[in-house]
Amino acid sequence: MTPEIQEIVRDLDGHRAKFEAFCRSLSEEELDREVPNSHWLVRDFIAHLATIDGPVRVMFESMTGEQPARTSTPDTSSGERWDVDRWNDSRVAARRTKTVDEIFAEAAHERAHMHGALANLSEADLDKTMHFGGDNKRSAADIRLGDYIRGWAKHDVIHAADMLRALPERKTPDVEAWLDDPAVTGYQRMMNR
């Protein structure tokens, strides 16, 4: 792994460990709370993070010129633009009745594949420009792959901040310190106007 990827993986794994511990501490009542300014429940953010590594990994693999062994993204050969929001909603809905243990088992499987994809990226790959297709709140943009991955490594903590809108009593000093990151506050400001 490149030094940049090693640092990113440390952050990624650290955030996942904190996110998993936080989620496992939640009661069923807390998991089933509706998140303000969202159409998801608290538990849905866990399901989202368990499943999104698949298509993101495929995107990272495509930047190395390798053909992925399997793909988690839908077939877009019809020319129809892949709608990440629709895809996320379908994955979340399909996991709403699963336990936290089942969801984190799936997440661990996907994350193991992600580690392999990240390890295959070279310094030259990290300097490539990738196209972010946008979503329902952000416009499409071209961005340096390494910068995208560095921001994406904060995905767990970003969604922990989303979940806390339904769990204000869970904002302990430790959790607030975890959330105290310019990328997290900037994302929250942009996505939750």
| Structure confidence at residue 68 as a pLDDT band (50, 70, 90) | very low
Query: What is the assigned CATH class of domain 3-191?
Result: mainly alpha
Tell me the pTM: 0.87
Residue range 25-53: mean pLDDT, rounded: 96
Residue 67 has pLDDT above 60, yes or no: no
Residue range 131-153: mean pLDDT, rounded: 84
Residue pLDDT, tens place only, 101-129 = 999 999 999 999 999 999 999 999 999 98
Q: How many CB atoms lie within 10 A of CB 119?
A: 12
Residue range 42-50: mean pLDDT, rounded: 97
Residue 77 has pLDDT above 70, yes or no: no
Residue 20 has pLDDT above 50, yes or no: yes
Mean pLDDT, the chain, whole residue set: 88
DSSP structure class, residue 34 = B
Q: What is the pLDDT of residue 186?
A: 83
Please list the alpha-helical segments (H only) found in the chain. Answer: 3-24, 28-31, 42-51, 53-62, 84-94, 100-119, 123-126, 145-152, 155-163, 173-179, 182-191
Domain parsing of the chain, residue ranges: 3-191
Q: What is the pLDDT of residue 134?
A: 73
- The pairing of strands 141-144 and 129-132 is antiparallel
- CB-based contacts of 41, cutoff 8 Å, min separation 6: 31, 32, 33, 34, 35, 96, 166
Q: What is the pLDDT of residue 183?
A: 86
Strand partners, 34: 41
Task: Give the burial string for 31-67 (b: 16+ CB within 10 Å, else e).
Answer: bebebeebebbbbbbbbbbbbbbbbbbbbbbebbeee
Q: What is the pLDDT of residue 92?
A: 94
Per the model's pLDDT, the better-predicted residue between 58 and 46 turns out to be 46
Q: What is the pLDDT of residue 101?
A: 97
